[in-house]
Structure 1
């Protein structure tokens, strides 16, 4: 993968959907946590010579996020939101003489441990969770988690004294696009709660290059879309807020940086065009990395110059996680069902 990517696992047999990195506060070991069809697994990056992954939880997982040593996951056959105390889970694994505990023993343990002290807790009324996003409000310093169900949106807020996300708003009936191409959170300065962005539409004002299709999570009992124009939806694949007044948007092979009103943000490189259809975008402090089927290209935020590029048509690449470290998977182009290789981007952290 060149100088900027480091291979951390060769021949991974899992069908990985999401990945995050975590540092154990006791040992200071760094782990990759993999959310896969086969369950949640861990890889100790400080013991790569062992080249082994260990099962942490047995259930299918589609999404992961870590805050203050608490792992949030969308897990199970029906995909429900869960909260996991990582320190407790790792202690239990270390203290167990037999990692392959029987199903009967698991049920017995669940009966013995009071529910409120269990390391993994199911979040009520979140069955059928399709997607989740987390955002921190830079004005109030509050952190919010928003989840979308089949016909509803739930909003939770991180409560520091209890070290957990607390439900702020119960489910609201809402007709959502299917498939849900865009589901992101945008923070506006005068609003207590983030808005949910469900897409990007063509502009209505001469100064705009686009407008956000948003839903307000206000304090009223109802949840509804903002009044919006009938302009067509653009083929946006990525929306992410960079700071208080700039949002990165990817439409086809073009990346634009706009303000909260959809106008070009002139204080940084505002438009970047790539020669390929962009699958995933990651913003670093000074550049944007655009990933596609067979590689990656970086462009400077200030000058739009190419800062780095990787192309390998014998491999197919997929970004698994960007929360703290950028985690990448590659498989052979001629055999996409083969075991994958896992990489971590060294020398950079995902800033936004």
Structure 2
């Protein structure tokens, strides 16, 4: 089965910086969480007929990451690195008298890069797991074509494959046996074994942007001729060797 964009929300007015999906450990409902200039919002992907984003947190959010039901966010002005216990946060949304699920990890954090170096996770939380693919991409571009050299550790003969894309690459998502390269108008996957195209989705009438690739790949899309139009939100489904 080839990759395809599955629309989960149409006409989103938010200015989104980051997004991810999360499964509630009790209800098993899957949620889309988006961090935007307007706050953190959530969408129950099992109830798409409602077609409504619900505000979860009120502060500006520049970055999101989730592990072991704990949501890390870079939120506020100036930015602060915060940890939110998601089941407690959803409970508090329905019961305002419930204990606060918020922990402040750093008093101030000017950039997402600094946040990545914070002392975390909290007690009893396992360390983040690394993707199975650990190679380091190095790239060079000439015109619209990009060539990516892929290897893990120190390369030795035979030399690693060169993955070639005939469009400017904006985001790479590395899978165990292939690489997904996202450009302005879609995505192309190429095998690490021989540079063969494994999947491709292109729509010249739309402009796509990857919002997150933790657990699921989340994208937003706008008409190519109207960059200020409300965005549609998508999940990439059907791609091979997904996380």
1:131 aligned partner: 112
Alignment length (residue pairs)? 235
Alpha-carbon displacement from aligned partner over 1:103-141 (angstroms, at most 9, x marks no partner) = xxxxxx7xxx8xxx631222234332x124xxxxxxxxx
1:248 aligned partner: 137
Q: TM-score normalized by structure 1? A: 0.61
Q: Which protein has greater RCO, CA pairs closer than 8 Å, 6+ apart? A: 2
Q: Please tell me whether residue 73 in structure 1 is matched to residue 73 in structure 2.
A: yes
Cα offset for 1:311?
2.0
Q: Distance in 2 between matches of 1:258 and 1:32?
A: 33
Cα offset for 1:75?
0.4
2:5 aligned partner: 5
1:147 aligned partner: 115
Q: Please tell me whether residue 282 in structure 1 is matched to residue 173 in structure 2.
A: yes
- Relative distance call for 1:266 and 1:131 in structure 2 (3 A) is farther
Q: Distance in 1 between matches of 2:30 and 2:102?
A: 21
Cα offset for 1:327?
0.6
The match for 1:270 among 140, 156, 161 is: 161
- Relative distance call for 1:247 and 1:264 in structure 2 (3 A) is farther
Give structure 2 stretches of 5+ with no counterpart: none
The match for 1:257 among 128, 146, 150 is: 150
Which stretch of structure 1 is more off in the superposition, 305-314 or 8-17? 305-314
CA RMSD of aligned residues (A): 2.6
Q: Which has the larger radius of gyration?
A: 1
Give structure 1 stretches of 5+ with no counterpart: 97-108, 133-145, 149-153, 166-186, 188-239
**What SS does the corresponding residue of 1:247 show, helix, strand or coil?**
coil
Alpha-carbon displacement from aligned partner over 1:293-351 (angstroms, at most 9, x marks no partner) = 11111111112111222222211100000011011110011110110111111234654
Q: Distance in 2 between matches of 1:3 and 1:46?
A: 21
- Relative distance call for 1:275 and 1:147 in structure 2 (3 A) is same
Contact 2:20 2:33 in 1 (8 A): yes
- Relative distance call for 1:24 and 1:241 in structure 2 (3 A) is closer
Q: Distance in 2 between matches of 1:325 and 1:287?
A: 16
**What SS does the corresponding residue of 1:242 show, helix, strand or coil?**
coil
Q: Distance in 2 between matches of 1:131 and 1:272?
A: 29
Q: Distance in 2 between matches of 1:3 and 1:259?
A: 26
Contact 1:323 1:350 in 2 (8 A): no
1:118 aligned partner: 100
Q: Distance in 2 between matches of 1:334 and 1:121?
A: 43
